[in-house]
Amino acid sequence: MGKIYRIKEFAKRIGKSVSTLRCWDAEGKLIAKRTPTGQRFYDESDVRKILGIKNISRKVVVYCRVSSSSQKDDLMSQVTAMEQYS
């Protein structure tokens, strides 16, 4: 799920006031999630929604190296291991 924000933290994160978030919740513009005790909270998906950020497509980069050309076989085994892991 990612990071969870209390209403005050979320307001600061998106540059709005707590009262604005309460109004948005009441109007249905951005409905807050609630804890079992009724406290509002938000997560990263809410941040992306408000700031207009689309889903992030991430790439994974792995780095393999050896100290000398005589260890070329070791390099190939590292590459193979990283390909299987990724």
| Two structure tokens written together for 8 | 């005050």
Task: Determine the Cα–Cα distance for residues 10 and 66; give it in Å rounded to an integer.
Answer: 46
Strand partners, 43: 4
Specify whether 45 is catalytic: no
Taking a C-beta distance cutoff of 8 angstroms, is the pair 45, 30 a contact? no
Give the active site residue among 17, 45, 57, 67. 67
- Residues labelled as active-site residues: 67
